Amino acid sequence: MDYNERMEKILEKVQKAPRYTGGEMNTTIKRWEECPLHFGFCFPDTYEVGMSHLGMKILYGLINREPWSLCERFFMPWTDMIELMKAEELPLLSMESRRPLSDFDVIGFTLQYEMSYSNILAMMDLGGVPLENKDRGENDPIVVAGGPCAFNPEPLADFIDAFMIGDGEDVMTELNRVILERKEKGLTRAECLRNLAALEGVYVPSLYDVEYDDSGVITAFRPNCGEAPAVIRKRVVTDLNQTYYPEEIPVPYTEVVFDRIMLEIMRGCTRGCRFCQAGMLYRPVRERSMEKLIDLAEKLYRSTGYEEISLSSLSSGDYSCLPELIRELMRRLKDQRVSISLPSLRIDSVLKESLEETQQVKKTSLTFAPEAGTQRMRDVINKGVTEEDLLEKVRDAFEGGWSSVKLYFMDGLPTETTEDLDGIADLARKVVEEYFRVPKEKRAKGLRVTVSASTFVPKPFTPFQWDAQNTIPEIIGKQDHLKKVLNIKGVHFNWHEPYLSFLEACFARGDRRIGAVLKRAYEKGCILDGWTETFRFDTWMEAFRECGLDPAFYANRVRDPEEILPWDHIDSGITKAFLLREKKKSEQALTTKDCRQGCNGCGLQRWKGVCGYANAGSV
């Protein structure tokens, strides 16, 4: 029986078969024999999560656009599917032509969050690809990875052949050309990897050696061959209007997490929130022009028929002509009944006018992210938002007919005290008061204030990269306190258990040695860790013990500023000197201004013409 028939047999038994069927609108099935380079794009989570991801759609279109390369998608199967596949001895197959992962020349994983790492191992294992790069032979695919977590590639150094650091559109085609060259010229795997290492923004971990002291701190990190640069500089797309953006995106049959057109209006953020890794990694801020966005929106509507467009970026409220953009999009797409949504609305954006326009089509709940409960704490994290700002925007929203508001906070931030936690409850209470201040006949019924608190995870390339995460008992104590003080009428409190955040902290700042824990945990059955029903914390802790590593070394240890950090060989554009200055300021609760008000000298000013707000003379 061929793969197709065996797959059909399994699909009769599996739950949620539409995840695995493929054949969606705007997917591309190119002829295998006519394309010399075969790229398997792997999203290490379920179909519903992966199909919500914009980056995959960009690279899928980009690779398929080239006549010489084809791209097919792979997703992480759910546990029931894995069992059926093993029983039928069916390998992980692509969504398009149902070919096994091992048939592809190059397979690429997108690293969106650390808790998908075990899925990477599972997908390679199911796909017949040796897990560790040292075990791969001449006929095995080259395994690459990119995305935000690639900025600390070390926990995956044993498993990934080459990492792409920075904007994927910029490096993808070059990387594919090098791999195609290997195929055409019959180069060895080792030669190909050295050629990849010579590309700017590509990191090949096997070409570097690491030394540690007895405590596990790195004492030396250096390349072991001439092609490998000592420092790998991230790739940056300088002009979003010139770079590739898909005009057709796959439209799933079944509902996925974000089932809509995602229009990336800009990349990067000038705010400089100190906890926010994305805000640091995606610098500098780059906008797409209004003309380009309107053109893309119309084309994407015509190719997908979607009912909703979301304007996506780290801080959409900062887009320089947002009200005009929204007004124009609405004018052009109103007859088609397309609604516009703003997913990451910042509370200090001038948006009252735009808010009134979005509700014209659809009224959803409004989300605000004050992140911390007191002004002192917000100053520590450089979240430039005041209580007055928040309450004013909330008032506008309630007067505009909204009755549902979500507030996002973090617990476990550096220097946090009980007073800061109480501040979260105070803020929630004031939001409730604002609602009741609006005359009854003017406000919408059914007030619902949802307060969500997530546990802070210190991340590389942020000013908190040296800080300790709170221990699990500390976090549980804080959450218990929040539960008590947030028992307010009209307020609903959401929190997550701290175990996953603890593990996330271990891998976010992990070194090469932690790869052994990942492998061991996978062998012991850990997969789909991001899902509560499959997350097995105790098994993870056993894996740490069996590998002789202490998770607290990674999560709860304060690092010395002199220490060689596992990601020091990656140049994200931001310098360590800037991060240290920011760290010192945060300790004194001093804020740093938005880059738009003047250059803060984060490091990007070193690269000519990259950042529009850079001033080379700044310190």
Partner 1 sequence: MRMLGVFEKGERIRHIGHLDIQRSFQRGLRRSGLPVAYSNGFNPHILITFASALSTGACGRREILDVTMASGVSEAEFLERMNRAMPPELQLSAARAVDDRHPSLMGMLCAASYEIVLRDPDCAEKLIPAIPAMMAKESVTATRKTKTAVKECDIRPLIYVLEGSGQSIFATLALTEREACKPGMLMEALSREAGLDREIRTLVIRKELLGKDEEGKLVPLEQL
**What are the residues binding partner 1 (CB under 8 A)?**
8-9, 11-12, 17-18, 21-27, 251, 253-255, 301-307, 336-337
| Closer to partner 1 by Cβ: residue 237 or 251 | 251
- Residue 299 vs 429, nearer CB to partner 1: 299
Would strands 491-495 and 208-212 be described as parallel, antiparallel, or unpaired? unpaired
CA dihedral 89, 140, 514, 540 (to 10 degrees): -10
Paired sense of beta strands 570-571 and 491-495, if any: unpaired
Contact predicate 310/345, CB 8 Å: no
The torsion angle over the Cα atoms of residues 279, 282, 285 and 287, rounded to 10 degrees, is -120
Cα 81 to Cα 13: distance, rounded to the nearest angstrom? 9
Q: What is the closest distance, in whole angstroms, from the C-beta atom of residue 346 to partner 1 in the complex?
A: 28
Q: Which is nearer to partner 1, 97 or 289 (CB)?
A: 97
State the nearest-atom distance from the C-beta of 23 to partner 1, in Å.
5
Work out how close the CB of 253 gets to partner 1 at its nearest, in angstroms, rounded to a whole number.
5
Q: Which is nearer to partner 1, 301 or 402 (CB)?
A: 301
> 102 to each of 68, 89, 99, 127, 131, how far by Cα in Å?
19, 14, 8, 6, 12
**Cα distance between residue 236 and residue 253, in whole Å:** 34
Alpha-carbon distance of 321 to 299, in angstroms, equals 21
Shortest Å, Cβ 269 to partner 1: 33
Smallest distance from partner 1 to CB 102, Å = 23
Residue 350 Ramachandran class (φ > 0 left, ψ -120 to 50 alpha, else beta): beta
Q: Which residue lies nearer to partner 1 by CB, 12 or 560?
A: 12
Phi, psi values for residue 477, rounded to 5°: -60, -45
CB count in 10 Å sphere of residue 501: 23
Question: Closest distance between partner 1 and the C-beta of residue 21, in Å?
Answer: 6
Least distance to partner 1 from the beta carbon of 254, Å?
A: 5
Tell me the pairing of strands 266-267 and 366-371. Answer: unpaired
> Which residue lies nearer to partner 1 by CB, 12 or 388?
12
In the bound state with partner 1, the residue whose beta carbon lies nearer, of 28 and 450, is: 28
| DSSP category for residue 93 | B
Instruction: Report the distance separating Cα 434 and Cα 392, nearest Å.
Output: 9
State which residue, 28 or 471, has the beta carbon closest to partner 1. Answer: 28
| Shortest reach from residue 25's CB to partner 1, in Å | 4
